[in-house]
Amino acid sequence: FTDSKLSKILEMVQDATARKSQTQLFISRFAKIYTPIVFALALAVCFVPYFFVDPYIFNVWFYRALVFLVISCPCALVVSIPLGYFGGIGLASRSGILFKGSNFLDVMTKIDTVVMDKTGTLTEGVFKVQEIVTKDIEEPYLVKLAAAIESQSTHPIGLAVVEHAGKDATKELTVSEVEEISGHGLKGTIDGKEVLAGNTKLMKKFNVDYPAEIDSIVYTIVVVAVDKKYKGHITIADKIKDDAVQAIKEMHALNIKTVMLSGDKQSVVDEVAKKLGIDNAYGDLLPEGKVEKVQALKNEGKHIAFVGDGVNDAPVVALADAGIAMGGLGSDATIETADIVIQNDQPSKIVTAIKIGKLTKQIVWQNIIMAMIVKLIVLGLGAGGIATLWEAVIADVGVALLAILNAVRIQKMKL
């Protein structure tokens, strides 16, 4: 159980309650300073009038000091503010979003740019073979070669080729020395022949000539070469997620810039970006290329949320102000690195996470302002001898209860 995904999720939830937001940390520090200051002021209310008021009646000023001390209790702030953040985390959890700390609720309120990976984040990540083109080789054998080497990878494109070939198609082939070249594809040996299966960048890397028209194909392709000779290519298509278009529209409605990064070729990326209405899209990127793009945006002063799912996305997730992982399709490394995990892989939940962050901050500041205004009024009345001790008790407890009820209210809200 200790190594299971459920135990890791439970551990993340426990960690989330330990990671405090900036507002919580401020209130905790404020309470430590506030309490002795208020106690000193209460003593001043009791004894300082001795030097200025005639006649000085100790019982009157002692009573006023007690009123001052009771109403100044910071419990409304110290209790309701953490409760507000817990409520935000609870609302997010019920929406299928796991925040790994209340500090990330605050971070989401500042996000002005959302950068997203393409495959598995905006698209289903479930590829299907559309077309197979061969040269000097039988089609079934080309598919077997591609499937045999792609079976050594967990990439969705490779899985599509393996599924198309069938699970028993590669049994008679001997595969060895398989090497995954990040952002390019796979290289290996099958029955003594060197086989390459990947994108056109892989072919260029190993100086394999291929037909020029391949570069103009919009869809994702797997180019296959045997002993550095082009033998054909397999065209594969992915499907855009149902709620992706609506998610991008909602981000734009919140004045959030959208950027898509992908290792796929630029023509594929441009096609998907056009369908979704994304502001900027960059293709042909290696993992380090994604890091460079995000770093460039950060250098411009942007507050960035990066959303990804693959193991290659983990460095970018760590770099972003808010790293978001797709929990269903996401790799363990990305989920571990991320600050926020979307359990059901829906892009629309990105907007939900931003809205929950803003809603939580709004309620927390409502409590702070309400508590401070009421306390300052009653403090003044108490020091002036107008408010009684019972009124101070009722005001203190009443404000605390109102603040707590307001904080709990967030868990009942619908987004």
Which residues, including other chains, have CB under 8 Å from residue 4's CB and lie 6 or more apart?
Answer: none
Q: Of 3, 2, 9, which is closest to residue 330 (Cα–Cα)? A: 9
Q: What is the phi/psi pair of residue 165, to 5°?
A: -75, -30
Omega of the bond prior to 347 within 30 degrees of 0, cis? Answer: no
Q: How far apart are CA 101 and CA 279, in angstroms?
A: 30
Q: Is 117 a catalytic residue?
A: yes
The angle subtended at Cα 344 by Cα 274 and Cα 310, nearest 5°, is 65
Residue 245: which residues within 8 A CB-CB, separation 6 or more? 275, 276, 277
Where are any strands of DSSP class E within 92-174? Answer: 97-99, 113-117, 128-134
Q: Rounded CA gap, 369 and 361, in Å? A: 12
| 373 vs 287: CA distance, rounded Å | 51
The CB density around residue 386, as the number of other CB atoms within 10 Å, is 12
Catalytic residue among 106, 117, 309, 313: 117
Positions annotated as catalytic residues are 117
